[in-house]
Amino acid sequence: MTSFRLVKTCLHSKARVGELVTPHGVVSTPVFLPVASQGAIKTLTPEEVKNIGIAMVLANTYHLYLRPGISVIERVGGLHKFMGWERAILTDSGGYQIFSLARLRRVGDDGVIFRSHIDGSEHHITPELIIQFQETLGADIIMALDECPAYDDGLEKVKVATERTHRWADRCQRAQKRRDQALYAIVQGGVFPELRRQSAEYLTSLGFPGYAIGGLSLGEPKKVTFAMIEETVALLPEDKPRYLMGVGSPEDIIEAVARGCDIFDSALPTRVARNGALFAWQGRQNIRNAVYSQMEQPIVADCDCYTCRSFSAAYLHHLFNCDELLAYRLATIHNLSFISNLVNKIRSAILDGTFVAFKDSFLADYQPTNEEVRLSQKQKWLKSRHLSQ
Amino acid sequence: MTSFRLVKTCLHSKARVGELVTPHGVVSTPVFLPVASQGAIKTLTPEEVKNIGIAMVLANTYHLYLRPGISVIERVGGLHKFMGWERAILTDSGGYQIFSLARLRRVGDDGVIFRSHIDGSEHHITPELIIQFQETLGADIIMALDECPAYDDGLEKVKVATERTHRWADRCQRAQKRRDQALYAIVQGGVFPELRRQSAEYLTSLGFPGYAIGGLSLGEPKKVTFAMIEETVALLPEDKPRYLMGVGSPEDIIEAVARGCDIFDSALPTRVARNGALFAWQGRQNIRNAVYSQMEQPIVADCDCYTCRSFSAAYLHHLFNCDELLAYRLATIHNLSFISNLVNKIRSAILDGTFVAFKDSFLADYQPTNEEVRLSQKQKWLKSRHLSQ
């Protein structure tokens, strides 16, 4: 069984520390989940991911259903064994991917017909099938099927999608057979506060062991993202974990923790790492910059990750400059370590009662990547998403 | 100081076991050196390379001179420190690369003027400069500058190149200042037995601590490769190590050991790994083959490498199928482990007096990659060499 226990709540913000007990270990929250859509954290072995201190990873039902197929993973003994990961796994239902990566053919209450982004083959999935797939994969936390609208869809379209998400959540809950997995529902509602509130209220009424906030950080302005998080969290039960989907930059995580979110996932730290953007306390550093070409020190002086303990910034710069595959690995190790350390510091600060001071100090030093860069990266990613994700 | 000691010679072949003592550890021969041209074994950390059991790696003066530049590595504290590798290193002089990768401008007795394959910039190097570069890099074994003709060059052209190689070897020897590095000369002579003999005799007369056999495995038929090795080895001193450059397939290593070679390097095991060709006792296996898509066992049942201990063939097949970067790493670990194990077995067999039986049994089981595939892979590589190597 997977259960959640609230350990401490911050007096001056909504930040909290909790404990998720899963069949594959205890996970302290706030927690960040690196993304292993296809059953691998890009460039890393499970051993390395564990050594970084990661307690749970995210895999994607959509990707794994298409390749290698659910039955292959079943045959090999389930997803944990297949990918050689002994700690906790959360599988996303694939709702977001079906609506963003695949070519949609038809969406109805019964389910979705889509064409694979890989080979164009046609597939028909239903909420019940998605639960069955996730029960076969065997993750510790599984997600209800949701319909995820684009961030610029109008009210009517988002309303239809949100209401369908509710009916699907209900069906997913009824379809669940395994009791050792926790099924989380996904709050939708786009950028419309009223829909967000309706969604949180309806899904809460069904009683899930955890709630995700979906459909955010898709290109809308950040203040809208945070406003929607606030609207939603206000209506979610205190004693259940809140999972903010697709958010993973250092500055966004700390802001979302302050607003009461517990679980995060995003491909951002690993994706930007492969582009040569390394997290540092003063913001993202571009390792390709000539300033690093002769730097004997590691990229982050006080970082205890394998990359910073072992190599100079000059070496990392050289590897990126030569397109050596090791570059992507070393940068990924650093970025995941940075996020993992940050989340550890956040937890300690909440427990010590110093979270707000820690947050203010972090954000004062950290130069966020500006909105234009952020959006253009997102666009670039959307174009090449089947390659890069 | 680097020294060599012959430990045992096979009674029924020219195979021998030796011990190279270097400032960075004792290296038992026969030994295989994986290729870290740019200061990294592609996809692997030094820690992993060490765990595989690799005792020495090869880096390339040509590549490192162009990127990041010799002075950058000097500044960071030398090549061992730059790449985080504490064991032995051999640096190739870059002769082969200048004559195969770069655009040649002029070759004369004084040196070579070439244009970089990366940015077209013009460079003038001399035997003295190449020694100076290698003394700054600080490898345990360094190589004299040689002129490497193409395998289909005519007698006259090869004669000129071989004689120039001799004059350059002499100058390299005179230029050497550091006494803790062993400088090896490179026997050339193409596919002409008389030139090979002249080259071995001349270079031997200068007295080097080790001799390399260069200019082979460049596309000539295998029986010619082996005939040239035999001609050359017959004239090299018993008590000095013999380094066969650019040879690294399992079947070629075992044949060359039988002919008296001690040291090998090649990008082949790591390059074919990234193409999905994994070494097994019955020959190379293509992991992309559908036969592996559902295989619960590792690719090589009795292999004790990290990849085979940790993952099913089905998982590896899936990673290749999805172009996950982890695939290239896991395949590289397997192939280097296979070669390392093979070389260990060869050494044990020589020590036990069972080498010929071991060799015959290995070659009876091992289905060599046919000549056409081998040549077409070489051609493919020559076309994309600045990318893949």
Question: Which pLDDT belongs to residue A388?
Answer: 35
Q: Is B119 a catalytic residue?
A: no
Mark A256-267 as b/e (b = at least 16 C-beta within 10 Å). bbbbbbbbbbbb
Split at pLDDT 50, 70, 90, the class of B377 is: low
| Residue B367: DSSP 8-state | B
**The pairing of beta strand A56-60 with beta strand B25-29:** unpaired
The answer to whether the Cβ–Cβ distance between B311 and A84 falls below 8 Å is yes
Tell me which chain B residues have a C-beta less than 8 angstroms from the C-beta of A44. 326
How far off is chain B from A73, nearest CA to CA, in Å? 9
- Average the pLDDT over each of A52-66, B93-107, B365-379 and give the range with the smallest value: B365-379
What is the radius of gyration, based on Cα positions, of chain B?
20
Residue A318 pLDDT exceeds 90: yes
Split at pLDDT 50, 70, 90, the class of B386 is: very low
Mean pLDDT value across chain B: 94
| pLDDT tens digits, A123-138 | 999 999 999 999 999 9
Q: B82 to chain A: nearest residue by CA?
A: A315
Question: Which pLDDT belongs to residue A285?
Answer: 97
pTM for this predicted structure: 0.95
Distance CA B67, CA B61 (A): 10
* Residue from B70, B72, B310 whose CB has the most chain A CBs within 10 Å, to mutate: B72
Residue B384 pLDDT exceeds 90: no
The domain over range B3-267 is classified in CATH as 3.90.280.10: no
| pLDDT tens digits, B73-124 | 999 999 999 999 999 999 999 999 998 888 888 999 999 999 999 999 999 9
The answer to whether the Cβ–Cβ distance between A325 and B43 falls below 8 Å is yes
How far off is chain B from A27, nearest CA to CA, in Å? 24
Mean pLDDT value across chain A: 94
Instruction: Determine contact, residues A232/A247, Cβ cutoff 8 Å.
Output: no
Average pLDDT on A20-27 reads 98
Split at pLDDT 50, 70, 90, the class of A230 is: very high
Residue B376 pLDDT exceeds 70: no
The answer to whether the Cβ–Cβ distance between B45 and A330 falls below 8 Å is yes
- Average the pLDDT over each of A21-30, A142-151, B95-104, B259-268 and give the range with the smallest value: B95-104
Question: Which pLDDT belongs to residue B102?
Answer: 86
Distance CA B33, CA B270 (A): 11
pLDDT > 70: what percent of chain B? 95
| pLDDT tens digits, A166-197 | 999 999 999 999 999 999 999 999 999 999 99
Q: Is A265 a catalytic residue?
A: yes
Average pLDDT on B297-301 reads 96
Tell me which chain A residues have a C-beta less than 8 angstroms from the C-beta of B324. 38, 40, 42
| pLDDT tens digits, B214-225 | 999 999 999 999
Q: B74 to chain A: nearest residue by CA?
A: A294
Helix/strand/coil for A255: helix
Tell me which chain A residues have a C-beta less than 8 angstroms from the C-beta of B72. 293-294, 314, 318
Question: Which pLDDT belongs to residue B105?
Answer: 86
Average pLDDT on B367-381 reads 61
Domain assignments of chain B as residue spans, ordered by start: 3-267, 273-371
Average pLDDT on B303-315 reads 98
Residue A373 pLDDT exceeds 70: no
Which residue is it, tokens 């601590």? B209
Between chain A and chain B, how many beta carbons pairs sit less than 8 Å apart? 113
Average pLDDT on B47-65 reads 98
User: In B109-199, at which residue ranges do the beta strands (DSSP E only) sit?
Assistant: 111-115, 122-125, 141-143, 182-187
Split at pLDDT 50, 70, 90, the class of B368 is: confident
**The pairing of beta strand B56-60 with beta strand A242-244:** unpaired
Question: Which pLDDT belongs to residue A369?
Answer: 77
Catalytic site residue from B110, B265, B352, B360 = B265
Q: What are φ and ψ of residue A105, in 5° steps?
A: -110, -45
Residue B267 pLDDT exceeds 90: yes
Q: A274 to chain B: nearest residue by CA?
A: B325
Between residues B322 and A369, the one the model is more confident about = B322
The answer to whether the Cβ–Cβ distance between A72 and B319 falls below 8 Å is no
Residue A371 pLDDT exceeds 70: no
Split at pLDDT 50, 70, 90, the class of B327 is: very high
Question: Which pLDDT belongs to residue B379?
Answer: 54
